[in-house]
Amino acid sequence: MNDLIKKLVEAYGPSGFEDNVRELIRPEIEPFADELLVDALGNLIAHKKGDGSGLKVMIAAHMDEIGVMVSHITKEGFLRFTNIGGVYPHTLLGNRVQFADGTIGVIGSDRITERGAVHPLEKHFIDVGAASRETCPVNVGDAAGFLRPFLAQGTRLSAKSMDDRIGCVIAIETLKRLSETPHEVYFVFSVQEEVGCRGAQVAANRLDPDVGIALDVTTTGDVPEARPMAVDLGKGPAIKVKDSGMIAHVGLVKIMRQRAEEANLPFQMEVLEAGTTDARSIQISNGGTAAGCISIPCRYVHSQSETVDANDVENSVNLLVEILSKPIVL
């Protein structure tokens, strides 16, 4: 599975610019889908047909990642930029970004008079080696993603876009392993989650599912001085109960927990105090949907070294296969 993870996490794909990621995912899922379509917003939707006895189920994993967009070019050729999604200023200085055409830039900042200070985002700039505005190879409005190679250290996997390419990997692997299901399952590889869960909202309004399950990362409470949280790396997928945007459907939470226990799979219960996922958009679409989320524990979320555990990834696939292979009675 690491080869697939590496291919996806190293790909360029900030919110609104997911085409490259979609074209990497398409050949992975095409042989296993009964129907495949791309909607007007850019969501990739794969339909796995059931035997007619189950529900309509939407599985959502977002293809996009956080990034930056050029807002101004100085006469000296430096790029001022704005954020695409939740970019933290303390992760910027000295990092590198890559534009769609392959141009690479180094992030610098205005002069810091206090060594321990962190400048706000607007005090940073990108250096692409240009000597002037006229010789700059990029333009205002061009988007860039962070540049960082995939790293595997035992079962610990780090990359700049585990959020949420690892969810895409889990969806792909589930589709490959799901030989039979009673449900009409729609695997949605969604766009623009990092800027407001927009793709999932469009897809859910189109599909009108009975049940929706998002696949996304969640933070952990297992690093020094972490905010207390009952989620650790390597202890299994986290079944979301609540985050700042939604309360998961009680019956779906019960089913997830039951399937994990029946299959003797490790799992954790997640209450996330800040942040939300595509599950929120699915939950409030149309007349409302029974929605929940399988969360992959992840350290250093929204940094260039987001870190997950391979065992949690594998067990997330196993849990989702268990859920989709059997009846869902809410």
Which residues are catalytically annotated? 193
Residue 280, classified by CB atoms within 10 Å of its CB into exposed (0-12), middle (13-18) or buried (19+), is: buried
Contacts of 120 (CB under 8 A, 6+ apart): 89
DSSP, collapsed to helix, strand or coil, labels residue 104 as: strand
What token pair was written down for 198?
């927009």
CA–CA separation, 237 and 241 (whole Å): 13
Q: CB of 218 within 8 A of CB of 231?
A: yes
CA-wise closest residue to 186 among 170, 171, 167: 171
Question: In DSSP terms, which residues pair with 106 in a beta bridge?
Answer: 96, 127
Report, in angstroms and rounded to the nearest whole number, the Rg of the chain calculated over CA atoms: 20
Cβ atoms 31, 175 nearer than 8 A: no
**DSSP category for residue 122:** G
109 by DSSP, 3-state: which? strand
Beta bridge partners of 108: 125
Give the CA-trace dihedral at 102, 106, 109, 115, to 10 degrees: 150
Q: Which residue, chain included where needed, has tokens 């859910």?
A: 204
Sign (positive/negative) of CA torsion 203, 204, 207, 209?
Answer: positive
- Is residue 27 packed enough to be buried (19+ CB in 10 Å), middle (13-18) or exposed (0-12)? exposed
Q: Residue 54 corresponds to which tokens in the numbers above?
A: 């189950």
Answer for the pair 61, 47: CB distance below 8 angstroms, yes or no.
no
- State both tokens at 75: 């006469």
